[in-house]
Copies of this chain bind each other. A is one copy, B any other.
């Protein structure tokens, strides 16, 4: 039943996102349902649709929360001043994905269908991640141009992502592999070493 003055619009939105995130973490995208989220928050399905417009809108906000958590997770790892910052990033990428498999997978499985490209703030988060990685690479390759750094960051993220996706989905028995994150890290080191050699 209505609890009109209990929550502002923003509080209500945050409530839906938080509880939606939890449900997604429990059930995965295929069993996720807007009605369940509304029931858990204690508002009606109609209110949810007033706030988010569509299931896509809700899922987009939930994925944004996952990206934020992921970003914070990586920042926390770097804040520990690890001796090897590149290794910390790669391990962080894997650890977050393996600790939050369902919400992590939802980022990649939820397409905005026709609705064209992702919204600006979404693209911005992605650009930030690339820029941060490029920064770390810059300390290893001080002679690389900004555009070279961006391309390399994208390629290294893709490399790590491929290994991580296989590990999370357990494709090719990747988890049977002693250490998929270690494998990805080896690939990253090879690339950086090759770039270092080429620039010398």
Contacts and interface: CB of A to CB of B under 8 A. Distances in A.
A169 B117 CA distance: 10
Contacts of A85: none
Given A158-B174, A161-B166, A183-B151, A111 B194 contact: no
Contacts of A113: 28, 30-31
User: How many protomers of this protein does the assembly include?
Assistant: 2
Interface residues of A, number: 37
Contact of A177 (B111, B154, B162, B169): B154
A187 B159 CA distance: 8
Interface string A144-174: 0000000100110111111101100111101
A191 to B, nearest CB: 6
A76 interface: no
A151 B165 contact: no
B187 A166 contact: no
Given A126-B172, A194-B194, 18 more contacts: A30-B113, A111-B169, A151-B177, A151-B183, A154-B174, A155-B183, A155-B184, A155-B186, A155-B187, A157-B166, A158-B162, A158-B166, A158-B174, A159-B162, A159-B163, A160-B162, A162-B165, A187-B191
13 contacts: A108-B171, A111-B169, A117-B170, A154-B172, A155-B183, A155-B186, A157-B162, A157-B166, A158-B159, A159-B162, A161-B165, A162-B163, A187-B191
Interface of A: 28, 30-31, 108-109, 111, 113, 117, 126, 130, 151, 154-155, 157-163, 165-166, 169-172, 174, 177, 180, 183-184, 186-187, 190-191, 193-194
